[in-house]
Structure 1
Amino acid sequence: MIFGAILAGGVGSRMNISDMPKQFLPLGDKPIIIHTLEKFIMCERFDEIYVGVHPNWIGHMGDLIYKHIKVNKERIHVVEGGSDRNSTIMNIIHEIEKDYGESEEHYIITHDSVRPFVSARIINENIDNVLKYRACDTVIPATDTIVTSLDGEKISEIPNRAWMYQGQTPQSFQINLLKKWYSELTEEEKCILTDACKIGVVRGGDVHLVRGEVSNLKITTVPDYKIAQAMIGGNLID
């Protein structure tokens, strides 16, 4: 079975324009997270879709689904998110296995709730690649020179840009493989490794690449929000 997983466990907003988490801010005529969820609902290859939300916002998420989602509501499950990205994924996996048991044939396609412009191609290529390779990450080639600095004051290294990519989502995994990688982490690593694909890299696993798109924007800052509103023809909130 193939499961979609929308990660919406955060409660903070670095944009300082609202007291609600940024995934619930309006984008055009509906919240950001609804745009994202609709992209997953349109993909018929998902057996079920899980949304991991902070406990304080589960009721609100349910109300949004009732109001905005017109078809296939029965495929959507709202569950409690965790304290960070990876614990939210693990909470979703726990709920999946409560509902459908464990299986080597279970795969999860995880996606940021604040990447509402993910394309059908990206989703389908994640599904194709995770079925083939068991783990994959969505990336775009780095267009700017990447500079590393160990002290934040002077350049430590300028890597070859030809090898550099910017990570996006979805990040997709065979569920049992991701559980194995996660179980092998120390508690310290679990607190530090906030990126799911880095878990695989640290554990020495192979994570294959899926070509992303510049338009697959993550809305994190006010400039991101302005760009997203321009892309969809909406207005900023007051």
Structure 2
Amino acid sequence: MQKPVRTAAILVAAGRGLRAGAGGPKQYRTIGGQTVIFRAMQAFCRHPDVATVQPVVNPDDVALFNEAVSSLRHAPPANGGATRQQSVHAGLEALANDKPDIVLIHDAARPFVTSAVISRAIDAAGRTGAAVPVIAVTDTIKQVDDGGDVTGTPERARLRIAQTPQAFRYDVILEAHRRAARDGRSDFTDDAALAEWAGLTVATFEGDAANMKLTTPEDFVREEARLGAMLGDIRTGTGYDVHAFGEGDHVMICGVRVPHNKGFLAHSDGDVGLHALVDAILGALADGDIGSHFPPSDPKWKGASSDRFLKYAVDRVTARGGRVANLEVTMICERPKIGPLRDTMRAKIAEISGIDISRIAVKATTSERLGFTGREEGIAATASATIRLPWSE
């Protein structure tokens, strides 16, 4: 019986992305409601034939990296080098104990890689030992001199645009990188060029025109617009929650600890604001309610912080390729007063959900001393959520 092929993927994310303009390293910026690195990495983490995902990051960006991909399983990140080539080499060495048969090397700045391209990469590496995804050149290419004058027109039919993930037998590309390091070569712009230098024959396989690299500010604008057009299935949901007061000295409202002369009677922390938002998001997804996902009969949720529930609900949206467009919650109570803490609560919801604060509203009203809220026996909250999903849903 043939031994199963073990595949690892290296995600190169140590660059600074200076050509992308202001806003920090481009791999940690958001596009379509998700960070670039999360989009690039999730395809490998969720592919059934990729056993290990090895990130390579700048040591200064570890906190950004951990926050961006906290929901994905991966190997501990390796420290990147001054060049892309050095970063890839670091990733290859980090896999030395794992000893995969095949390694895929992918740029974190290509967030739209598909499972189909990954499968083709694994197949091509298994057949050839070294292969890169390519797409045809559709424009005429000119070769110019230092002054910008045309010196030649290459035959377009023989030209291809190289993409990633580039796929290799692990032992072969590791030795090629080690040889280049010994020889002081650090100027290769991709692993195929290094492999060619090392004497390997590099095959090609079908890439994907959508698997583009984000390089300039214009790239971000264009792809944000493209993603927005794709997310045309707009849905809304509503939520409602209520908790009675009991003994205590504070209540949790919208993720904020609010001093009060009473506490909530609740299985979890009783955060009615976040609970109502969770139900609104799940309602927009037609995905049950908070009780079906976090049953109060389960002792593991006793005293649980409700920020976990909200993050879970948002992750359910992103897992289906969508994003949350707007969240609104209204607190109904006489006391404590919500107004002075409104922006603090908005900021906390933004932090938990990863949604821009401009898309979050926190409101408050009283019941004019009527009913249980008017008698200050508890607090109620209503909420609404607007989400956008791909039409393919």
TM-score of the aligned structures, taking structure 1 as reference length:
0.88
Whole-angstrom CA distance in 2 between matches of 1:14 and 1:44:
34
Whole-angstrom CA distance in 2 between matches of 1:13 and 1:231:
23
- AA aligned to 2:54 is Y
Q: Where does structure 2 lack aligned partners over 5 or more consecutive residues?
A: 1-5, 229-322, 326-355, 359-393
Please state if 1:139 is matched with 2:134: yes
Whole-angstrom CA distance in 2 between matches of 1:178 and 1:152:
37
Please state if 1:53 is matched with 2:57: yes
Q: Where does structure 1 lack aligned partners over 5 or more consecutive residues?
A: none
Whole-angstrom CA distance in 2 between matches of 1:154 and 1:172:
36
Whole-angstrom CA distance in 2 between matches of 1:229 and 1:90:
32
SS of structure 2 residue aligned to 1:192: coil
Tell me if structure 2 keeps the 8 A contact 1:47–1:75.
Answer: no
Whole-angstrom CA distance in 2 between matches of 1:166 and 1:189:
27
Whole-angstrom CA distance in 1 between matches of 2:124 and 2:181:
28
Tell me if structure 1 keeps the 8 A contact 2:89–2:178.
Answer: no
Whole-angstrom CA distance in 1 between matches of 2:150 and 2:182:
31
Quote the RMSD (CA, aligned, Å). Answer: 2.1
Counterpart for residue 200 of structure 2: 205
Moved over 6 A (4+): 186-189
Whole-angstrom CA distance in 1 between matches of 2:146 and 2:195:
27
Please state if 1:5 is matched with 2:4: no
Deviations 1:165-186 (A, max 9, x none): 1111111111211122223337
Counterpart for residue 87 of structure 2: 88
Counterpart for residue 30 of structure 1: 34
TM-score of the aligned structures, taking structure 2 as reference length:
0.54
Deviations 1:144-166 (A, max 9, x none): 01111132421121111000011
- Which deviates more, 155-164 or 184-193? 184-193
SS of structure 1 residue aligned to 2:143: coil
Counterpart for residue 77 of structure 1: 76
Shift of 1:74: 3.8
Counterpart for residue 163 of structure 1: 158
Q: Give the number of aligned pairs.
A: 227
Whole-angstrom CA distance in 2 between matches of 1:207 and 1:85:
19
Shift of 1:45: 0.4
**Percent sequence identity over aligned pairs:** 23
Higher strand share: 2
- AA aligned to 1:33 is I
